[in-house]
Amino acid sequence: MTATDQKPVIVKVPTGHPGLDQILRGGMPIGRTTLVTGTAGSGKTIFAMQYLVGGIRDHDESAVFVTCEETPDSIRENAESLGFAISGHEADGTWTFVDATYDPGIEEEVVGAFDFSALIARIRHAVTTTGATRVAIDSLGALMTRYDDAHIVRREMLRVSNALRAMKVTSILTNERAQEQGEIARFGVEEYVCDNVLVLRNTLAEEARRRTLEVLKMRGVDHLTGEFPVTILPGQGLVVLTLEGTALDAESSTIRIHSGLDALDEMCAGGMFRDSISLVSGATGTGKTLLVTEFVDGGASRGERSLIFSFEESRAQLFRNAAGWGRDFVALEEAGTLRIEAIYPEMRSLEDHLVAIMNAVDEYQPTRIAIDSLSALERISTERSFREFLIGLTSFIKHRQIASLMTATARTLLGGESLTEAHISTLTDMIILLRYVEMGGEIRRGFAVLKLRGSTHDKRIHEFTVDGSGMQIGGPFRGVTGILSGAPRSVAEASPDLEIVSQMFDADGGLR
C-alpha cells in the first residue's frame, strides 16, 4: 500500500436544514446517497421536500422528486401549507416530479425476473433535461413493497442507489421503519446500500410527542452525535434545533444597561450587562411580573425595543397590571418599542415555542426580552425537552446580545427553590430572588441578587414594597437571618454582637 498525505477533500452540500448543517458541520457529502429512515409521521417526506427546496431557493440547484407513495398533487398541496411553492418551481423548471406512485386501477402482474431500469431511466432523463443536482426518492419502502421477491428488491435497491451515484447527484432516499428503536432496515440492506443514514424519530414520552433527528452514519464527515429535537412548523417546514453559535463562543459584553429600577442598578454595581440572562425566582405573588414590567419599561420607555413572551397572563391582564403600576404599555406598543406575545403554554409544543420566540426576535429585533414564566413552560414538557429548550433559548439570546429576564415560580410560598431554577441556574448570569418574609406577624417582601457574573453586587436582602408607581426597593433587612430558608428570625435577639460583626464587614454600607 502506498501511503498518501493527500486527504480527499469532501465537498459538502447544505441540506436545506440549517440545524442539520450545523450537526454535519456544513452539510452532506456531495454525490452520495443518504437514507432517511423513520416511522410513519416522523417527517420523512417533509425532510425530503425541504432538502430539494433548499437547493432551489438558496443554491440555484434544480431538483427531481421521485414520489412513490403520495401523488404529486398531494405533495404539492402539503408543500404549499408548509410554505414551499413547488408549483412555482415546477413552472420555472427547477422542480421535476417522477411519478412512481401505485395506481390500483392498473393491474400489473409479475411473470419472471425484472429490474428497475425504467425507473432509473426516467430519473436520469429528468436529471439530464433539467440539470438537477439533487434527487429525493420518497419512499424506497413504498416502491419495493409492491414486489414480493425479497432478493430482487434488495438487488434493485442497490441498483437504484448506484445509479444515483453514477448520475453524480446528491440524493436522499426515505424509508419507513416499524419501530423507533432497533433495526434500521426493513429489507435488511438499506443501511448498506446508502452511504449515510439519518434517523427521524417521533416518540411518545410522558404523553408528549417528541421529534428528533439523529445522524447515525455519515461516511467521511465529522458530525455531532445524539438526538436533536425537531419540530415541524407551517411556513417553515422541519426545523432542527441545535445550539446556535455552538454554545459558548458568544461574545461577552461589558456594556451595562438600565435594569428598570435605579435601586437594582445600584445593587448590581451599575446595571445589568447588555447580553445577560437573568432569572427572577419567587413564589406566586411576590412580584415577578412586576419586575418584568419594570425591566421592559426601563428599556421601552427609553426607546429600546422590548419583547415580552407571556405564558401565564393575557395581553389584557398585562396591560391592566402595567396600568396599575403606573406604566402605559398601550402607548409603548403604539410607539413600537414594545411587543407583547401572550400564548398559553399548552397551545404548542416546547420546540414550537422556542422557534416562535426565535422568529419573533428575528422579526422584531428587540434589545430586551422577558419570558414570564419558564415554570409555565416546564409544565408542558418532559425534563429532557425542557433542558434542551433552556439551552437552546439561552444560547440563542446570548448570541443575539439581547438582555433577558426570565421568571421562575418557586414551589413553596416561603423560601424554597423552583424546579426551573435547578435547570437554568448554571445558564444564567444573574439570579434575583423575591421572597416572602414573615416578621412580627406580618408578611413583608425581600429582594436579593443571588448571583451576578462578571461583577460585584450587593449581597444583602433588601425589603421592597409595591405601590401605584411600581416596585420600591428599600433598605436591607437588618438583624434577620433565615429569610432564604423561609424561616426568618431575629439574630439581634439571639446574639446582640452579630449585627456589630456584620457591620464590620460592611464598612461602606453598600456594595460589598
What's the Cα-to-Cα distance from 334 to each of 291, 292, 320, rounded to whole Å?
Answer: 22, 19, 16
Q: Which is nearer to other proteins, 137 or 461 (CB)?
A: 137
Shortest separation between residue 155's beta carbon and other proteins, angstroms:
12
Q: Residue 246 has which C-alpha cell?
A: 455552538
CB of 106 to other proteins, least distance (A): 6
Instruction: Give CA–CA dist 205/212, Å, rounded.
Output: 12
Question: Which residue of 103, 148, 251, 442 would you call a contact of other proteins, by CB under 8 A?
Answer: 103
101-109, 236-244, 360-368, 407-415 -> range binding other proteins (CB under 8 A): 101-109
Residues 436, 401 contacting (CB under 8 angstroms): no
Would you say 114 or 344 has its CB closer to other proteins? Answer: 114
- Supply φ then ψ for residue 120, to 5 degrees: -60, -40
| Footprint (CB under 8 A) of other proteins, residues 433-492 | none
Under rule CB under 8 A, residue 98 binds other proteins: yes
107 binds other proteins (CB under 8 A): yes
From first CA to last CA, the distance across the chain in angstroms is: 69
Q: Which residues are catalytic?
A: 69, 312
- What is the C-alpha to C-alpha distance for residues 30 and 83, in angstroms, rounded to an integer? 26
β-bridge pairing 134-138 and 403-409: unpaired
Q: Which residues pair with 429 in a beta bridge?
A: none
Q: Which is nearer to other proteins, 5 or 103 (CB)?
A: 103
Residue 361, number of CB atoms within 10 A of its CB = 18
Stretch that binds other proteins, among 100-108, 225-233, 261-269, 320-328 (CB under 8 A): 100-108
457 Cβ contact partners less than 8 Å away, ≥ 6 residues apart: 267, 268, 269, 449, 511
DSSP annotation of 1 reads -
Find the shortest distance in angstroms from Cβ 177 to other proteins.
23
CB of 64 to other proteins, least distance (A): 12
Q: Is 503 in the site for other proteins (CB under 8 A)?
A: no
Answer yes or no whether residue 92 interacts with other proteins by CB under 8 A. Answer: no
Rounded to the nearest whole angstrom, what is the least distance from the CB of residue 71 to other proteins in the complex?
11
Q: Which residue lies nearer to other proteins by CB, 128 or 495?
A: 128
Could you tell me which stretch among 95-103, 262-270, 322-330, 503-511 binds other proteins (CB under 8 A)? 95-103
Strand stretches in 283-376, DSSP E = 306-310, 338-342, 368-372
In the list 3, 111, 204, 316, the residue contacting other proteins (rule: CB under 8 A) is 111
Which residue carries 406566586 as its cell?
284
- SS3 assignment for 276-306: CEEEEEECCCCCHHHHHHHHHHHHHCCCCCE
122 binds other proteins (CB under 8 A): yes
Q: Report the SS3 class of residue 206.
A: coil
Given 64, 136, 143, 308, the residue binding other proteins (CB under 8 A) = 143
Return the range that interacts with other proteins (CB under 8 A); candidates 46-54, 108-116, 372-380, 436-444.
108-116
| Binding region for other proteins (CB under 8 A) out of 15-23, 124-132, 230-238, 369-377 | 124-132
Which grid cell is 509?
454600607
Residue 73 binding other proteins, by CB under 8 A: no
Q: Which region, left, alpha or beta, applies to residue 441 given φ > 0 means left and ψ of -120 to 50 means alpha?
A: left
Unique residue bearing C-alpha cell 414551589 = 411
Least Cβ distance, residue 189 to other proteins (angstroms): 18
The single residue among 5, 60, 92, 108 that binds other proteins, judged by CB under 8 A, is 108
CA distances for 37 relative to 119, 198, 217, 430, angstroms: 21, 6, 12, 43
- Work out whether 165 is an interface residue with other proteins (CB under 8 A): no
| Per CB under 8 A, 148 contacts other proteins | no
Piece of the chain touching other proteins by CB under 8 A; list 120-128, 281-289, 318-326, 354-362 = 120-128
Who contacts 443 (Cβ-Cβ below 8 Å, separation ≥6)?
436, 437
Among 117, 246, 465, 472, binds other proteins (CB under 8 A): 117
Residues that bind other proteins (CB under 8 A): 98-100, 103, 106-119, 121-122, 124-126, 143, 147
